[in-house]
């Protein structure tokens, strides 16, 4: 199995989602998946860009799709975008080019042609979660588990953009794929209703209180239901829920206590026995500890 890899600005080696990239690489390597980075990729044109000029945003995203076609001329390029925002924007671009031929499709195709591309729309944009669950399969992952996470209560937090509105691999209201993945690792997954509720996204940087409030709701509910850890699939969510945790604690007057927020790939790698250093655990604000002792106390209770 091989995929094209689109790091995106937030996941790239320099930004806040660094641990995501490290753990993703380590896990896929272990599972025998080869990745090839998309050559000369550019920003996906995510939310902020779209607010200023939507057509240019589509133009940016479509350049990546066209680059993928150029790089894989003989097969269907499968472009792995680990960031939910990149994932949704590139999928949205694909849909808009098809659905609104006159308004979007023709101008974008023309622009790409002028820049020397041929765009056929065959590039598939995939999310690592989709790949892990549906391409690699839970059975294979189960075989690789060295340290089963028995007794660990995991709240799977998909984030708003992963399963809606353009992805097709899971239910939009109550997705299950990440829960199934966590259960394959031996953890017990928490049934909770906020799986796809917005974490506040970019709001935390601008209108801070609004953003923090949304994060607080998610952290509070996860904690109330006894989660040991929240796993997420989006660098935005991870930053929001983790880096701002202290501030949320202050605002909510101690309403929540420390809760580790991990990328789902970190936990997969952890269960597979990959060293913590390679998974970027040292980059966490709230450290994650898992000891089998937890299992014993759970059992006694």
Partner 1 sequence: MQQETPKQIRFVGKLDPDFVQKMWRGWKKVKFEEEMDPQFAEKVASYPGCNTLFDCIQCGTCSGICPMGSFMEYAPRKIVGMIRAGFKGEVLTSYTTWLCASCYACTVECPKNIKITDIMYALKQLAIKEHMHPRRLPIPVLARQFFEIVKKFGRNNEGKVVINMYFRTNPLLPLRNLIMGIKLYLRGRIAFTQDKIQNIPQLTKILNTVKM
Partner 2 sequence: MKDQHVHHFEHTDVKVGVYVCHCGINIASKVNVHEVVEFAKNLPNVTVATEYKFMCSDAGQDIIVQDIRSGKVNRVIVASCSPLMHEITFRNATQHGGINPYFFQMANIREHVSWVTAEKEDATVKAKALVAAAVHRVSKHTSLEKKYFPVNPNVLVVGGGIAGIQAALTIANAGKKVYLVEREPTIGGHMAKFDKTFPTLDCAACILTPKMSQVRSHPNITLWTYAEVENVSGYVGNFTVQVKHKKRYINADTCIGCKACVDACIGPENIPDEFNEGLSYRKPVYMPFPQATPSVVIIDENSCYHFTKGGCPPDFSSKNGHLSPQLQSLLRRANECFELRDFQETLKLTKEILKSSPEHQETLFLHAQTLYQLGMINEATEVMRNVMVKERCVAACPKGSVDLYQTEAISEIQVGAIIIATGFKTFQGERTTQYGYKRYPNVFTSLEIERLVNASGPTGGEIVLRDGKTKPKSVAILHCVGSRDLHSNRYCSRVCCMYSLKLAHLIKERTGAEVYNFYIDMRTPGKGYEEFYEKLCHENVHFIRGRAAEVTDWVLSKAELGKLVVRAEDTLLGMVRRVPVDMVVLSVGLEPQTDAEEVRRKFNISCSKEGWFLERHPKLAPVNTFTDGIFLAGACQGPKDIPDTVAQAGAAAAEALALIDIGYVEMEPNTAFITEENCSGCRICVALCPYTAITTDPVKLISVVNPALCKGCGTCVAACPSGAAQQNLFTDEQIFEEIEGVLEYV
Contact residues for partner 1 (CB under 8 A)?
9-10, 12, 14-19, 40-43, 45, 47-56, 58-60, 62-63, 88, 96, 99-100, 103-104, 107-108, 110-112, 114-116, 160-161, 164-165, 172-173, 196-198, 200-203, 205-207, 210, 214, 243, 282-285
The answer to whether 19 and 266 have CB atoms below 8 angstroms apart is yes
Q: What DSSP line would sit under 232-264, residue for residue?
A: ES-HHHHHHHHHTHHHHHHHTTS-S----EEEH
Task: Pick from 78, 135, 183, 221 the residue near partner 2 by CB under 8 A.
Answer: 221
Using alpha carbons only, give the angle 181, 152, 15 rounded to the nearest 5 degrees.
65
| 174 sits near partner 2 (criterion: CB under 8 A) | yes
Q: CB of 163: closest distance to partner 2 in angstroms?
A: 11
Q: CB of 150: closest distance to partner 1 in angstroms?
A: 29
Instruction: Pick between residue 46 and residue 199 the one whose CB is nearest to partner 2.
Output: 199
| 172 sits near partner 2 (criterion: CB under 8 A) | yes
Look-up: residue for tokens 């940087």? 205
| 226 sits near partner 2 (criterion: CB under 8 A) | no
Task: 141-144: list long-range contacts, CB under 8 Å, 24+ apart.
Answer: 141/31, 141/181, 141/184, 141/185, 141/268, 142/184, 144/30, 144/31, 144/272
Q: Which does 221 bind (CB under 5 to 8 A by kind): partner 1, partner 2, none?
A: partner 2
| 255 sits near partner 2 (criterion: CB under 8 A) | no
| 193 sits near partner 2 (criterion: CB under 8 A) | yes
Structure tokens that stand for 249 in this block? 């604690």
Q: In whole angstroms, what is the distance from residue 283 CA to residue 243 CA?
A: 11
The answer to whether 222 and 230 have CB atoms below 8 angstroms apart is yes
Task: Pick from 224, 277, 289, 293 the residue near partner 2 by CB under 8 A.
Answer: 224
Instruction: Pick between residue 216 and residue 290 the one whose CB is nearest to partner 2.
Output: 216
Instruction: Pick between residue 45 and residue 269 the one whose CB is nearest to partner 1.
Output: 45
| 209 sits near partner 2 (criterion: CB under 8 A) | no
Query: For the chain, how are helix, strand and coil distributed in percent, rounded to 5?
Result: 50, 10, 40
Q: CB of 42: closest distance to partner 1 in angstroms?
A: 4
**Sign of torsion over alpha carbons 220, 224, 228, 230:** negative
Q: In whole angstroms, what is the distance from residue 208 CA to residue 282 CA?
A: 26
Binding residues for partner 2, rule: CB under 8 A, are 171-174, 192-194, 217, 221, 224
């Amino acid at each position: 199995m091989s995929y094209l890899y689109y790091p995106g600005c937030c996941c790239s080696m320099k930004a806040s989602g660094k641990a995501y990239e490290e753990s993703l690489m380590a896990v896929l390597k272990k599972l025998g998946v080869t990745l090839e980075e998309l050559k000369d990729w550019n920003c996906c044109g995510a939310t902020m860009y779209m607010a200023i000029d939507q057509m240019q945003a589509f133009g940016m995203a479509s350049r990546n799709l066209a680059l993928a076609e150029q790089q894989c001329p003989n097969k269907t390029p499968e472009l792995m975008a680990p960031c939910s925002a990149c994932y949704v924007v590139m999928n949205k671009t694909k849909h808009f080019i098809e659905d609104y031929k006159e308004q979007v499709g023709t101008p974008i195709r023309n622009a790409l042609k002028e820049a020397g591309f041929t765009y056929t729309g065959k590039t598939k944009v995939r999310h690592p979660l989709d790949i892990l669950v549906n391409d690699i399969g839970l059975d294979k992952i189960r075989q690789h588990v060295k340290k089963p996470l028995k007794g660990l209560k995991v709240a799977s937090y998909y984030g708003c953009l992963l399963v809606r509105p353009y992805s097709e691999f899971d239910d939009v209201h109550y997705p299950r794929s990440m829960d199934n993945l966590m259960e394959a690792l031996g953890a017990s997954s928490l049934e909770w209703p906020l799986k796809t509720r917005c974490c506040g996204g970019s709001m935390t940087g601008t209108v801070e209180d609004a953003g923090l409030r949304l994060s607080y709701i998610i952290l509070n509910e996860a904690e109330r239901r006894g989660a040991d850890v929240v796993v997420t699939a989006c660098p935005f969510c991870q930053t929001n829920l983790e880096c701002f945790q202290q501030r949320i604690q202050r605002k909510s007057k101690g309403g929540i206590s420390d809760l580790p927020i991990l990328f789902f790939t970190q936990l997969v790698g952890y269960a597979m026995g990959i060293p913590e250093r390679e998974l970027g655990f040292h980059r966490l604000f709230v450290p994650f500890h898992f000891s089998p002792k937890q299992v014993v106390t759970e059992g006694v209770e």
